[in-house]
Amino acid sequence: EVQLVESGGGLVQPGRSLRLSCTSSGFTFGDYAMSWVRQAPGKGLEWVGFIRSKAYGGTTEYAASVKGRFTISRDDSKSIAYLQMNSLKTEDTAVYYCSRAGELLDPDYWGQGTLVTVSS
């Protein structure tokens, strides 16, 4: 059974940093790209970015709203994907979901999400 568990969310002040982790099990982590999607309170879904598998260079893509501030990385030996968030803004407040990218790179399995609140 595919399982994705996010951790690391919480309350953080504007301008500070936070790192989210996504611990995966139930599949061969290194074979898949991994995505992050967020949802602000009461709003729709927003694709944040993803990281390709090492077989495809382990490169990353980001939404314009987070490019240059957020970095996605992965540790295949631990089956963990990370989302490093720097220079956080109040508008980054959201539930952050980790997801596995399916064969066509759309999210096929999702974690339960972790809430990030950016506030002074």
Binding site for another protein (CB under 8 A): 37, 44-47, 49-50, 61-64, 97, 102, 104-108, 110-113
Write down the least CB distance from residue 20 to another protein, Å.
16
**Residue at 32: amino acid letter:** Y
CB-based contacts of 96: which residues, under 8 Å, 6+ apart?
A: 6, 9, 20, 36, 37, 38, 48, 83, 113, 114, 115, 116
3-class SS at 69? coil
Write down the least CB distance from residue 56 to another protein, Å.
14
Report the residue number, 11 or 45, with the smaller CB distance to another protein: 45
Report the residue number, 44 or 120, with the smaller CB distance to another protein: 44
